[in-house]
């Protein structure tokens, strides 16, 4: 059986790397687009040890010709469009950029596919943030969308344009509406990794306090490697469709903090401060996913529970910093990251 070709946009991100690793194990030839930067960001590929197994293609989400060229080079059977401006908080500071990279870029990518080879299967990475101001205890594919950030609005545009191309051009185009999914290679700008990294540094005497935003926000947190398997299953389904992937459990930021610090025998209340500077202009109070459809049709379900997820992340960050203290050098992000206390954020007024 001939191996398939897959093109992953945003391959250097958390999901891109885990998906690449999964597809390699399934005997795919994997291509990935990346944006050329003055400082390369390939540490996750190195971290998983797959950097030599990936075919990298420079491309930019605002340059349609480069996206079209990536299709010509990779000749993919499947395209996983993961690249975006993926941090909700910064979308308030850069709303136009968020619209370009998380919204209009979806049209550029899927239109390039339509013109090059409309038989290519297309996966769009949607987000639970599109539900926004929810009115029900859990959210599934049939709920209404009330986005509460430029990021969410852009993702909702991408969601609808994907459905339109599916219906209008009879393309295999599917949305994965993924609720929060974390891992030890999650970016430090995300609250979960900010917590586990901060807790590890405090335990080792490298940091005195940790400043966060709203501790009473509730999210449905799962384990990223399981969610990329869901992405793959979505494109293996006999027909294109949209699927929610989630654990079905919701926990607060406060619970995440408590669990992370407790694993290190620390009283989080002595170190963690809730700072209004880190609140979003519009808060999404709670998100809780209902992935019944994915369980029934794709036979997919989240396996890693909340406490196990937190333990994985805390343990890895602690090991990294302990290694760093011993002079060990390995690919990771924390040593190149500036603290958010140095960054001035946009506020309501």
Say whether 340 is catalytic. Answer: no
Q: How many domains does the chain have?
A: 2
Q: Which of 78, 129, 182, 226 is catalytic?
A: 129
Dist CA 228 CA 22 (whole Å): 8
The verdict on residue 139 lying in a domain is: yes
Same domain, 328 and 271: yes
Report the C-alpha gap between 137 and 156 in whole angstroms. Answer: 20
Q: Which residue has the tokens 């009283």?
A: 267
Structure tokens belonging to residue 101: 């990279």
The answer to whether residues 226 and 282 belong to one domain is no
Q: How far apart are CA 158 and CA 126, in angstroms?
A: 7
What's the pTM value of the predicted model, to 2 decimals?
A: 0.94
306 vs 320: CA distance, rounded Å? 22
Catalytic residue among 102, 126, 127, 149: 127
| Catalytic status, residue 322 | no
Q: Tens-digit pLDDT profile for the chain (349 aa)? A: 579 999 999 999 999 999 999 999 999 999 999 988 767 789 999 999 999 999 999 999 999 999 999 999 999 999 999 999 776 767 667 888 888 899 999 999 999 999 999 999 999 999 999 999 987 899 999 999 999 999 999 999 999 999 999 999 999 999 999 999 999 999 999 999 999 999 999 999 999 999 999 999 999 999 999 999 999 999 999 999 999 999 999 999 999 999 999 999 999 999 999 988 878 788 889 999 999 999 999 999 999 999 999 999 999 999 999 999 999 988 988 887 776 655 665 666 5
CATH number at residue 275: 3.90.25.10
How many residues can be counted in the chain? 349
Strand ranges for the chain from DSSP E: 5-9, 29-34, 55-58, 78-81, 121-127, 173-178, 181-182, 210-212, 218-219, 222-223, 243-245, 251-252, 272-274
State the CATH number of the domain containing residue 70. 3.40.50.720
Distance in angstroms (rounded) separating the CA atoms of residues 18 and 223: 11
Q: List the beta bridge partners of residue 58.
A: 34
- The yes-or-no answer on residue 80 being catalytic is no
* β partners of residue 31: 7, 55
Q: How many CB atoms lie within 10 A of CB 289?
A: 26
Domain that holds residue 94: 5-181+222-245
């Amino acid at each position: 059986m001939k191996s398939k070709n897959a093109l992953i946009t945003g391959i250097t991100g958390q999901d891109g790397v885990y998906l690449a690793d999964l597809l390699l194990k399934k005997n795919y030839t994997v291509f990935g687009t990346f944006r050329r930067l003055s400082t390369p960001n390939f540490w996750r590929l190195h971290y998983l040890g797959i950097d030599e197994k990936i075919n990298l293609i420079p491309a930019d989400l605002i340059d349609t010709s480069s996206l079209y060229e990536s299709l010509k080079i990779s000749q993919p059977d499947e395209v996983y469009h993961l690249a975006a401006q993926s941090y909700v908080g910064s979308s308030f500071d850069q709303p136009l950029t968020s619209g370009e990279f998380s919204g209009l870029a979806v049209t550029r990518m899927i239109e390039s596919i339509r013109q090059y080879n409309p038989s290519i299967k297309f996966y769009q990475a949607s987000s639970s943030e599109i539900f926004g101001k929810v009115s029900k205890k859990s959210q599934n594919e049939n709920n209404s969308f009330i986005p509460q950030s430029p990021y969410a609005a852009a993702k909702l545009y991408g969601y609808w344009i994907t459905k339109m191309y599916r219906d209008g051009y009879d393309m295999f185009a599917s949305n994965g509406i993924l609720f929060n999914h974390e891992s030890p290679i999650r970016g430090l700008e995300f609250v979960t990794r900010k917590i586990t990294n901060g807790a590890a540094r405090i335990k080792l005497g490298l940091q005195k306090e940790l400043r966060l935003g709203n501790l009473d926000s509730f999210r449905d947190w799962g384990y990223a490697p399981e969610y990329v398997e869901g992405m793959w299953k979505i494109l293996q389904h006999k027909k294109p469709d949209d699927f929610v992937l989630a654990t079905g459990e919701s926990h607060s930021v406060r619970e995440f903090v408590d669990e992370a610090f407790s694993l290190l025998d620390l009283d989080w209340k002595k170190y963690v401060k809730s700072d209004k500077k880190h609140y979003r202009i519009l808060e999404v109070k709670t998100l809780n996913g209902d992935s019944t459809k994915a369980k029934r049709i794709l036979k997919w379900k989240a396996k890693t529970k909340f406490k196990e997820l937190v333990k994985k992340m805390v343990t890895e960050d602690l090991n990294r910093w302990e290694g760093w203290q011993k002079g060990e050098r390995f690919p990771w992000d924390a040593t190149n990251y500036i603290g958010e206390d140095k960054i001035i954020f946009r506020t309501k007024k």
